[in-house]
Amino acid sequence: MDEESLQEMLADEGTFKGETDESELEALVSKLKTNILIIGSGGAGNNTLTRLYKEGMNSIELLALNTDAQHLLNTPIPHRMLIGKQLTKGLGAGSEPGTGEGAAEEARVELLEACQDADIIFLTGGLGGGTGTGSLPVIARLAKEKGALTIAIVTLPFSNEGARRTRNARLGLEKLRKSADTVIVIPNDKLLQDDIMNLPLNLAFRHADEILGNAIKCMTEITSHGGLVNIDFADMRSIMDGGGVAMIGMGEGQGANRASDAVIAALTSPLLELDIAESKGALVNVTGGDDMTLQEAHEVVKEVHSKINKDARIIWGASVDSTLEHQIRVMLVVTGVKSSQILGPSSGVDDEMQNRYGIEFVH
């Protein structure tokens, strides 16, 4: 290149013509940033948000919703919304999903405004009661109206909580399945391992909240934090848009075989106790210490690929957490799970609810 051509390429202050300055790049990156909102509805949803807030999740907006004014007052989240003020007078939904649904419909305008700028909205709560079960399908529908990718992460009640809560949960899950892009289900009964069975009831529920919080934290971190191999918003949408019912597995491994041990632990996790062979897609996130190799991350993905439908779409990400010394963690989300694989036989309940509510149950 001759000197005259070089001079033409350079601006007056010695920069290349067309060079993008730092402020312009910062503005563009800020505009392209994926905006994430986490909404927790009802007692379980509020408890999960409280846990995330106390753990320092400050970079993502949290919104706590409830029909119970006292519970909401005790929730230390900066952004709170009492829904159904006219319907429930702040006294709660009384374990009636219809009341929770009505409360969300009453707050429709405020909820639409809350969802306005979000790219991904995570909804969380427990199914089986009134507020979460009734409101979450409504919120999911409104979130999708605003164009957000809508992912619900919910718990199902312990079987010993009674037939009524189980019935409410079945109905709530099917309504939520129709409203949200993907519903990740955590059955509380799957948490009943030997070390949990002997815990006092309040500690068992706290353990369920902890699992729910960890699942949400993992899901948000893979899109909001850069990693060695990134999962971006487009990747997330390709798996979760229309993903249906999903389940999550988490595992850890240490030592020489830590990668294979971690993925096997995730695949055999009590939370993922089903055949994933016919699933439609999988999202895999691998986290390790500074010594984790790319080969180990590939080993995890290869193992998942060998277990799932050959036509399923798999996306994966890998990140480094320097606090994980000689350890690898794997989170696996499997989409396209049939409802009956989670809820078990319906004993005729599905037929009755299909006739009563017009809901088509997937088996």
User: Is 96 marked as binding a ligand?
Assistant: no
Tell whether the model's pLDDT for residue 203 goes beyond 80.
no
User: Is 131 marked as binding a ligand?
Assistant: yes
Tell whether the model's pLDDT for residue 336 goes beyond 90.
no
Model pTM? 0.83
Q: What is the pLDDT of residue 57?
A: 86
User: Is 94 marked as binding a ligand?
Assistant: no
Whether residue 103 contacts residue 88, with contact meaning beta carbons closer than 8 Å, is answered with: yes
**Average pLDDT of 59-70?**
96
Whether residue 97 contacts residue 176, with contact meaning beta carbons closer than 8 Å, is answered with: no
| Higher-pLDDT residue of 113, 338 | 113
CATH topology of domain 33-225: Rossmann fold (3.40.50)
Q: Is 43 exposed, middle or buried (0-12, 13-18, 19+ CB in 10 A)?
A: buried
Tell whether the model's pLDDT for residue 151 goes beyond 90.
yes
Tens-place pLDDT, residues 100-145 = 999 999 999 999 999 999 999 999 999 999 999 999 999 999 999 9
User: Is 344 marked as binding a ligand?
Assistant: no
Q: What is the pLDDT of residue 276?
A: 79
> What CATH code is assigned to 248-339?
3.30.1330.20
User: Is 132 marked as binding a ligand?
Assistant: yes
Q: What is the pLDDT of residue 340?
A: 57
Convert 228-243 to b/e letters by CB count within 10 Å (16 or more is b).
ebebebebbeebbeeb
User: Is 251 marked as binding a ligand?
Assistant: no
User: Is 226 marked as binding a ligand?
Assistant: no
User: Is 46 marked as binding a ligand?
Assistant: yes
Give the H or E element holding residue 119: none
For residue 134, the tally of other CB atoms under 10 A from its CB is 31
The C-alpha atoms of residue 104 and residue 314 are separated, in whole angstroms, by 35
The C-alpha atoms of residue 263 and residue 328 are separated, in whole angstroms, by 9
User: Is 161 marked as binding a ligand?
Assistant: yes
Q: What is the pLDDT of residue 25?
A: 74
Domain boundaries, the chain: 33-225, 248-339
Mean pLDDT rounded to a whole number for the chain: 85
pLDDT band at 197 (very low <50, low <70, confident <90, very high): low
User: Is 44 marked as binding a ligand?
Assistant: yes
User: Is 99 marked as binding a ligand?
Assistant: no
Amino acid making up residue 142: L
